[in-house]
Copies of this chain bind each other. A is one copy, B any other.
Amino acid sequence: MTKKLNVGLIGYGFMGRTHSNAYCKVNHFFDMAYKPVLKVICGLDEKEAKAFSEKWGYESYTTDWKKVIEDDDIDLVDICVPNNVHAEVAIAAAKAGKAIFCEKPLALDGAQAKKMVDAVEKAGVANFVSFNYRRVPAVTLAKMLIDEGRLGKIFHYRANFLQDWTISANVPQGGMATWRLDVKAAGSGVTGDLLAHCIDTAMWQNGQIDSVSAVTETFIKKRMHVETGKVEDVGIDDACTFICRFDNGSLGNFESTRYARGHKALYTFEINGEKASIAWDLHDLHRLSYFDHADESIVRGWRSVHVTDGDMPYMDKWWVPGLQIGYEHTFVHQLADFLEGLDKGEPASPTFRDALATQYVCDAVLASAKDKQWKTIKKA
């Protein structure tokens, strides 16, 4: 018997679409105890909120997020608004006893994130942060291989997240499309937006980061602000790269930028262990590269594993071997895991507390870049 889960979505931007798509698809492909019901969409512009509700089949729309929180009929509050609004909404939702699904990064900084963790843990509500790349089947497979000990002792972890969409000085800051360049809305630049993904995956796969040394750069110092219409200082980091040590003794190397001409969303990681290595990149997300030193030497080489067979993580739910899925499916997977966690009473990860650990690394990275010192990471 299927249990209904009434969803109130706050934010109809890019993430609002990925989440709505997941709600619509999850029961077509996964056998779940829960079935999401699209109750209400909330957004600032009434006309757009209405259009979104019609397109996706939400029963109603509103421009006041507090009404979503106050609505007894809502079971799950899904937060898809800019980073600076996460905390207020999440804390209110927790107090109202709602389950919470929140976009990443959790907050503007660790202090704010900590309050959110305290709120959800005090309220005892289900909580989840949308670090969706964990649920790319190839990335999930990488985690499995590591946990099975196939890599042996790990020596190196390196990750990049490279984009090129802000190279032009004509890209503004602020507003619906470019709030990620406005430090007030985003908290930081590539560190919170992109490196947060890399850090989340890295600590999930390779354990806690101990300490970091970072450098950041803002290549374009002033940009027009959409909301004020004035040219204003740019407060975000355009690029950030850091070196680090993990608790397990391995070395880490991370880099992110929006100035890497030729890369749209090139999130890559490579992990080198004593016995085997793994590499992956988001531009061909359906493949995992794997090198196993135990292979006979004359036929030893990096394997390009096409992660589409039914014995791969999540892939028995989709099509047939050889036929790839894409970006949007990661949101379906994390929703399925979240719903299964709800049903079983075993929270799916990453929770708010897991995301707090990532936030502390981001804080340390930015602090290190500021004063040019190594920083030890606070533990969540």
**Residue A319, interface by CB 8 Å:** yes
Q: Indicate whether A304 sits within 8 Å of B306 (C-beta atoms), given known contacts A14-B320, A239-B156, A372-B374.
A: no
Are the C-beta atoms of B272 and A257 separated by less than 8 Å?
yes
The residue from B156, B287, B299, B306 contacting A305, defined by CB atoms under 8 A apart: B299
Interface size class of A (residues with CB under 8 A): 35 or more
**Residue A179, interface by CB 8 Å:** no
Map CB proximity to B onto A258-280 as digits: 1 under 8 Å, 0 otherwise. 01111111100000111111000
**Residue A301, interface by CB 8 Å:** yes
Task: Give, as a whole number of angstroms, the nearest-CB distance from A22 to chain B.
Answer: 11
* Stretch with Cβ within 8 A of B (4 or more), from A59-67, A100-108, A289-297: A289-297
Are the C-beta atoms of A272 and B262 separated by less than 8 Å?
yes
Are the C-beta atoms of B259 and A141 separated by less than 8 Å?
no
Task: Give, as a whole number of angstroms, the nearest-CB distance from A210 to chain B.
Answer: 11
For the residues of A in contact with B, the DSSP-based class is mixed
Are the C-beta atoms of B261 and A275 separated by less than 8 Å?
yes
CA distance A320 to B265 in the complex (A): 9
Beta-carbon nearest neighbor of A327 in chain B: B323
- A277: which B residues are within 8 A, CB to CB? 260-263
Are the C-beta atoms of B322 and A266 separated by less than 8 Å?
yes
- A302: which B residues are within 8 A, CB to CB? 262, 303-304
The residue from B156, B288, B301, B319 contacting A306, defined by CB atoms under 8 A apart: B301
Are the C-beta atoms of A325 and B327 separated by less than 8 Å?
yes
Beta-carbon nearest neighbor of A2 in chain B: B54
- A251: which B residues are within 8 A, CB to CB? 215, 217, 239, 241, 257
The residue from B239, B274, B312 contacting A261, defined by CB atoms under 8 A apart: B274
Map CB proximity to B onto A318-346 as digits: 1 under 8 Å, 0 otherwise. 11111111111100000000000000000
CA distance A344 to B333 in the complex (A): 38
Beta-carbon nearest neighbor of A313 in chain B: B298
The residue from B243, B263, B323 contacting A213, defined by CB atoms under 8 A apart: B243
**Residue A309, interface by CB 8 Å:** yes
**Residue A122, interface by CB 8 Å:** no
Are the C-beta atoms of A283 and B324 separated by less than 8 Å?
yes
**Residue A316, interface by CB 8 Å:** no
Could you say which of A151, A167, A266 has the most chain B C-beta atoms within 10 Å of its C-beta? A167
CA distance A299 to B146 in the complex (A): 12
**Residue A3, interface by CB 8 Å:** no
The residue from B287, B323, B328 contacting A319, defined by CB atoms under 8 A apart: B328
CA distance A305 to B296 in the complex (A): 11
11 contacts between A and B (CB under 8 A): A18-B319, A27-B55, A214-B243, A217-B251, A259-B272, A259-B274, A284-B287, A288-B301, A292-B299, A302-B303, A372-B374
